[in-house]
Amino acid sequence: MLSNYIEQIRDAASRLLPETIQIRRHLHAHPELSFEEKETADFLAEQLSAAGIPFTRNWAGHGIVAEIRGEGSHWIALRGDMDALPIHELSDVPYKSVRAGVMHACGHDVHSSCLLGAARILHSISHIRPLPVNIRCIFQPGEEKLPGGASLMIQEGVLSNPKPEAILAQHVYPSMEAGKVGIRPGLYMASTDELYITIRGKGGHAAMPHECNDVVLAGSQVVIALQQIAARHAPAAIPTVLSIGKCQTDGGATNVLPASMRLEGTFRTMDEAWRRQAYALIQEIVTDTCRAYGCTAEVNVERGYPCLVNEEKLTQAVKVNMVEYLGEQNVVDLPLRMTGEDFSFYGHHIPACFYRLGTRNEARNIISAVHTPTFDVEEAALETGMGLMAWLAISCLPGAR
């Protein structure tokens, strides 16, 4: 019975925790930006080699794929991302980033450490008793940057030879206490497109605006007008967000009206058909608004990650096995999120489930959100993360039970 594996996995996770904490701290102190993760990959490859786990390298640049063989023909994939963010860390901890302006502020050091821990657990158990499935461990680069390491690894064949029946991933969740996990079947996270808008007019002296075509005024109206996308054009039942986060001009003085202005932002929604429809509306609104002020505009919508959907049957099976491993009180239902994740690409090819790992500890003031310079995690969560991932790998495929 599969339940006989639980205590083995729990014991192994507890035993590996101190070492896994040190691995996570090493990764945290030596972060690398998206698609630059060479030292991270070298370090993880050393750890896999030391554990005797076979792997291949250089997927999508610096990605690693390790495999643990079990009995039969069933395959499942586990994914952990490796890249960091361009943020200067402010936390005063011994494992603070040694690279100014680069930080593991989204927990990818935790994700890689937990995946490595899960792989070590499963590999060690496989020498004692056969596993009911074969496991592919995907250490993925470039989650934080388009086109996303997931899309590139898929293009290179990470989901083939043989094709896994499902893929799982976990992500730190600083609003949830360590020891708990969260899950949501079906639609969970938004698509993420990037907006780049350049407005051109006629610059001149600010004291003579009648001789100019004011790109700042036009751009200000564009920012306001684009809110029609979410407020008036989006179907009421479809969550939609459009935000402009950056405005720049080529001007440099208070009495100069610049000749061009650049706007950058994000468009996010939870319906792929409406997403495609919105592209034309964004173009139309920007062009017509600028024309009214005597200006022209170039609009580039850079297509990002698709909506993240947790396949219903797989996710229900994952939840049942989460409860078996952690207890019902430690498994939480999650709300929708307008954030995005390139893990969504995998779900367009095979059943996928993306769940959350609680990392909060208010008593130790570990409460900062991801993508902030003071982000950190309660490291006891690593025991939950690697143990649960190992258990789910062998328990959530119905055909392998």
Give CA–CA dist 83/105, Å, rounded: 10
Q: Are 206 and 256 in contact (CB under 8 A)?
A: yes
Catalytic residue among 37, 81, 83, 165: 83
Q: Could you confirm whether 143 is annotated as catalytic? A: yes
- Token pair in block for residue 279: 């592209």
Query: Which residues have C-beta within 8 Å of that of residue 109, sequence separation ≥ 6?
Result: 24, 27, 28, 31, 84
- Token pair in block for residue 110: 């935790």
Q: Which phi and psi angles does 171 have, rounded to 5°?
A: -140, 140
Is residue 360 classed exposed, middle or buried when 0-12, 13-18 and 19+ CB atoms within 10 A define those classes?
buried
Catalytic residue among 37, 143, 144, 383: 143
User: With the C-alpha atoms ordered 332, 336, 338, 339, is the resulting torsion angle positive or negative?
Assistant: positive
Nearest to 390 by CA among 176, 214, 137: 137
Distances (CA, A) of 367 to 51, 288, 355, 360, 385: 34, 45, 19, 6, 18
179 Rama class: left (phi>0) / alpha (psi -120 to 50) / beta: left
Q: Which residues of 65-97 are buried (b: 16+ CB within 10 A; e: fewer)?
A: bbbbebeeebbbbbbbbbbbbebebebeeebeb
Give CA–CA dist 82/84, Å, rounded: 7
- Token pair in block for residue 218: 């036009």
Distances (CA, A) of 232 to 87, 152, 296, 318, 375: 36, 36, 24, 38, 36
Angle at 287 between CA 271 and CA 196, to 5 degrees: 60
* Other Cβ atoms closer than 10 A to 46: 10
Q: Could you confirm whether 83 is annotated as catalytic? A: yes
Active site residues: 83, 143
